[in-house]
Copies of this chain bind each other. A is one copy, B any other.
């Protein structure tokens, strides 16, 4: 990892989330979910439902800190059970005020290392909204291929029906 410059992730610490992180994570999760323009999560979900979705249902949840301040979070979970269980899925969220500092990039790199350590052979993003250009560009630089195009699969709150992508990266040898 580079050192020093902003946006390289050099000052970012990533660790497993603790239960008492949720009060700090909640505003980040809430604002992304309420906006309803990037994730297929019901925008009106309650705080308790979001806690279950992000902190309890996944296999692991991490937080990203800069100077002790939690500014981002991601989860990792098995994407499909049974014969699909060697492929994981992750979701990432960054506090709006902290964007452009390399937090999503650092979290995605961290999640790939965690995924390999957990024994996963691939990572799949099931639903990357086409209008989320920054995310698409970032996942591409981090080695993800677009393996699917879902036509008009997302109802964007401002733009109406837009496409979504399936993105995928093989992590095994």
Contact = CB atoms under 8 A, between A and B. Distances in A.
Interface stretch (A13-21, A105-113, A143-151): A143-151
Contact of A83 (B149, B154, B170): B154
Nearest to A87: B153
B150 A83 contact: no
Interface in A147-171: 147-157, 161, 164, 166, 168, 170
A143 to B, nearest CB: 13
| Chain A interface size, under 10 / 10 to 19 / 20 to 34 / 35 or more | 35 or more
A86 interface: yes
Contact of A39 (B82, B85, B86, B155): B82
Q: How many copies does the complex hold?
A: 2
Contacts of A40: 80-85
B168 A83 contact: no
A41 interface: yes
Among A121, A126, A127, A150, the most chain B Cβ lie within 10 Å of the Cβ of: A150
Contacts of A73: none
Contact of A41 (B82, B86, B148): B82
A173 interface: no
